[in-house]
Each structure stands twice: as structure tokens, then as C-alpha cells.
Structure 1
Amino acid sequence: MSAAQPWGFTDDRGTELGAARVPERVVAYVRAGAALLDLGVTPVAVYGSGHDGPGYDPAKAGGLDAAGVPYLGPGRALDEELLRELRPDVIVDVTYDGKSPYALDEAVADRLGVPLAALSVGNELTLPEILDRFRELGASLGAGAGAGAGGGVGGGTGSAAADSTGLAEAEDFLRGVAGRTGLAVLALSGAGPDQVHLARPQAWPELARLAALGVRLLDPGPGPGANWLTADWGRAAELRPDLVLFDNRFHAVPPYETPPGTRLAAWNPETPPSPAAYARFFRELAEALAA
């Protein structure tokens, strides 16, 4: 597809997007922008969510900060005039419910007259399906085709084939380590000294993928909450994990209470949906399990 041809893409809300030419100037939610960068599309800017502050969260930025991609702050507080000055051709967000963009009010895109693509990162899709959708969007935006005149394409971290091979190798490595060790793993997000959110593994596509690869993930048990069971740190300790996957985003807190000898490994619940990013995560987890 060349920049002279019409562009079309249907996002995961079923919204059909179109433009007279392939978009070159992409503004994205930070998670989506980091994935696009890995895939070969460099955003002109990214924005955060309601959890984010005025600067990049190192856990969520991926390669964006190093690549010099400007961060605009939380999406719900974006300066619309600044966004207009960036002249975006398309805005890319994520969706958890298949209905609404997560980090930006769609009315902002409507007022700017800019198409907004929202790709699902919720548990209605498997992790491989989520990665495939981001590949499809990246390919539609010219990933691997070289830099466009508007500075939107290029600057990725290697070919899609190489990244896919790296992910497959990381999964094989993790599968082997998980099978040998059989360690129990608990994923959680710290909320403070008296409260922790314990992840329900099947509610998170990447955790469900870990389970499919043989990682023995602990379920926190019955109680309210679709994605998390909110409890005190004593509940986390009662589950007796061998390894705790802790949320390392800026707004979360490190583990306050775990059984003696419990291993720790970082988990970003908003890992960029790219093969390269998940290959890194799977390798780091395998190394933590094998330590």
C-alpha cells in the first residue's frame, strides 16, 4: 500500500476508519504507541491514562522516550490545541470493553476531525490475537516500508518475522523452565500497606498465555472483582506463592508482605502489545523462575 492509495482499517469496536492516504502522523496512547514503535511505526507523540502523571512512566514507555517521542500527559487532560498543532492523521488507543477508547475521550478526536482506532487488549481476545491485531494495524500504517514524508513510519526494532521468531523462542524457553520448576506464581498490584489487588489469571490475556505455557499461576479465590480480588497483604501471603509477579507501573507499590524466600519479578499489566515486548517479559520471567 502506498501513501497515494486510500487507507482503511476496521478497529476492534467494529468502527470502519478511512482516509484518502495512508496516515503518517500517528498520535497514540502510550501502550499502543510503544507497540507501534516496536513494529516499525514511530508516533509523533503519545499520551497517558488516568493513572499517569505529567511525565513518562518508565514501565510503560518501552522505547518511546529513548526514541525522542514526546509525551503529552494524561489523555483525559490533553491540551486540544497542542494536539491540533501536531496535525495527527490518526489516533490509536486501546479498548478493554470493545466499545470505548480507554485513555482518550473520543469526542476529542471528533472535534479534531481525526479518525481514532481502538484495539482490544481485554480478555475477549487471546494474547496471540491481540498481537496479530497490532501487527495488522502496523502493516496498514506502512510498518517496514521506510520513513514517510510526515515522519510517521520507520524506526522500529527489526522485522516482524524476526520479532515473531524471538517471541516463539522466548515462549519455548519459558515453557521448559516452568515445566522443570513447577513454581507457584501470584500476580498482583500493590495499592498500599493495607491493600493489594490479586490478579485473576484468566482475566488477563498475558497471564492466560503464561498458564498455557505451563506456568502454575495462583487464583486468589472467590470474591468481588472480575480482574482483581482486592484484599490485604495477609491474603497474598496465605496463598504461599514461590514467586510474586508485581505490578511495576509508577502508580503501584512494591510488595509489602510475602512469605520468606519468595522470589520477585516485575510485571507490567500494560506491556506494549508487540512480539518484542512480550519476548522480553517471558524471558525475564523464565530467568526469575530458574534463579
Structure 2
Amino acid sequence: MAVNRRGILLGGAGLAALFAVGACGKVEDRQDSGTGGPWSFVDDRKREATAKSTPTNIVAQISAAAALWDLGIKPVGVFGEANGPDDLYGNVDLDAVTWVGKSWGEFDMEKFLDLRPHLLVAPMNTPDQLWYVPEEMADKVAKRCPTVGIKQLSTPVDKVIQRYADLAASLGADLDGPAIADARKAFTAAVDELRAVAEERKDLKVAFVSAAEEFFYWANPDVFSDALLLRDAGINLVQPDVSDEQDRNGAAVSGERSASKNRKLR
């Protein structure tokens, strides 16, 4: 089940990328930062990441790296799923970055430290937990550099993109450049097109799923960022019954039950 939930989460992170710290106080053994004067950023844990100068050596979870890359901030290191869908990587030049972890639970501290990191950035799909940073290593990472977590679940994808834009701006990105302006315009046009389809096809019902061999993982639209955007645009997303599930992210449905539900939706 965890793998299939991650499959949906990876898809949502990839969509955000395409469209677009430990607690405060003294931290021992941190690397010196990059350029300019003092830097700070309050992340979605409401924690302030600080550095003596603007970070330049950035290590990011791959979907966060893709979002930052399109905003003009290019991490030197990445971690996450090395064998994920191509959309997950956005425009990241995979030959120009160092992988410090290539799968769930993998994070090579030695490679991480070799990059002399000034900042680590990751999405959050669990409150206060940096995605793909193993829990047992989170404190060690935070002692080496500030960390920033961007909330991904239960937040519409346009709001997620804006948070990455806020972070990129703090790191020196020019958000008024033509490439970003064109991307913003294309994104707005795509959302407007969705709204038009939703208005024209009010009878259309859409299920947000991740498929496996024997079952579908039927996602809860209240949780996933891209699903929330679709629903905000007026798309009628099917709401699974998660009352008996251990978590509210969605429900596992067998192929037979899924087909039965699909017939009822027509």
C-alpha cells in the first residue's frame, strides 16, 4: 500500500514541478553558506531556516529540485526516486547533479556532506517530516545545514508552486523573467481550459487513482494537491469512502469492486 500511495504522491509532485530546517537557533557543524548577506525563510513547518549568507549549494528531493530548477535555482544534489516517471524530474539536468539517495529509505550522508550543502529542501506529505529524508537521519541532516519543508498534501498545487516561488525568490531567483512569465501564463490558460470543460461537462465524474495489478488505490481528493486544483476548477472528482481506512489518503479497491463502482458512476 505504501508504494501505491507514493505513486500518487510522486505524480502530484511531478505535476507541480512541471508547472512551474531544523528548529531555529545555533546548529553545530553547519557548512558556511554561499553569497550575499544574511538569509532566512519560514517554511511550512513554521520554522525559520537561517544562514549567514544566501545558500548556493542546495540539495533537494527530486520533485522539489524540479520545481526550483524551473524557477532558476539549480540544486547540486538530489534524492528520491531515481527510477520514477520522467515527468518527476522536470527539466533537471540529471548529468549535472549528484544523487545522494535513489529510493525510499536511502540517503547517503557521506555523499551529502561531500557536496558541502548550504540548504536541504523537501516536500512534506506527513506533518513536519521531510519527504525521503529517513526519520532517523533528519537530526543529523539538520545539524549540517538548514532545511526547508514545503507542504504538499491538502494544499492545491498552485499554492504549492507559489511556496516554491517564494523560496526561489529568497534564494535570488528572478521571478519576472520571460521564461517564468510564459510558464505562469501557460499554467493559467490550462486552468481556464479545465474550468471551461468542467462547465460544459457537469455530468463528467473523474476518479483519481493509482493502479496496481490486483487493485486500484482510490485517492481522496481532499488530500492530493493536483486533485484539489482539479476540484477547484470545477471537475467533479469521485470521493472514496475512507471511513474504514487507517489513513485518509485513499482506499484500496479490488479490480472487481472498482469495475462495479465505475458502472454505478455512469
Q: Work out whether residues 37 and 157 of structure 1, in 8 Å CA contact, stay in contact via their aligned partners in 2.
A: no
The aligned counterpart of 2:211 is: 190
* Per-residue deviation, 1:67: 6.7
Structure 1 residue runs without a partner (length 5+)? 146-155, 244-258, 260-291
User: Which residue is equivalent to 1:94?
Assistant: 123
Rounded Cα–Cα distance in structure 1 between residues aligned with 2:227 and 2:263? 15
1:104-183 paired onto structure 2 within 5 Å: 104-105=133-134, 106-111=138-143, 113-123=144-154, 125-144=155-174, 158-159=179-180, 161-182=181-202, 183=204
- Give the letter aligned to residue 111 of structure 2: L
Contact 2:76–2:96 (CA under 8 A) maintained in structure 1: no
Contact 2:156 2:227 in 1 (8 A): no
Name the CA distance, whole Å, in 2 between partners of 1:34 and 1:140: 17
Residue 26, structure 1, aligned to residue 58, structure 2: yes
Judging changes above 3 Å, is the alpha-carbon distance between structure 1 residues 197 and 157 closer, same or farther for their aligned structure 2 residues? farther
In 2, distance between residues paired with 1:181 and 1:70? 46
Aligned partners of 2:163, 2:220: CA distance in 1, in Å?
A: 24
The structure in which a higher percent of residues are helix is: 2
Distance across 2 between alignment mates of 1:115 and 1:171:
35
2-structure distance, mates of 1:14, 1:242: 44
Please give the TM-score of this superposition, normalised by the length of structure 1. Answer: 0.70
The total of aligned residue pairs comes to 225
Contact 1:185-1:241 within 8 A present in 2 as well: no
Q: Which amino acid aligns with 2:148?
A: A
Q: Write the mapping of 1:1-291 to structure 2, written as runs, cut at 5 A.
A: 3-48=35-80, 52=81, 55=83, 57-65=85-93, 68-72=96-100, 73-74=102-103, 76-105=105-134, 106-111=138-143, 113-123=144-154, 125-144=155-174, 158-159=179-180, 161-182=181-202, 183-191=204-212, 193-222=213-242, 223-224=244-245, 225-240=247-262
Asked whether the equivalents of residues 9 and 18 of structure 1 are also in contact (C-alpha less than 8 Å), the reply is: yes
- Percent of aligned pairs sharing the same letter: 27
RMSD between superposed Cα atoms in Å: 2.7
Secondary structure (helix, strand or coil) at the match of 1:77 reads coil
Structure 2 residues not aligned, in runs of 5+: 1-33
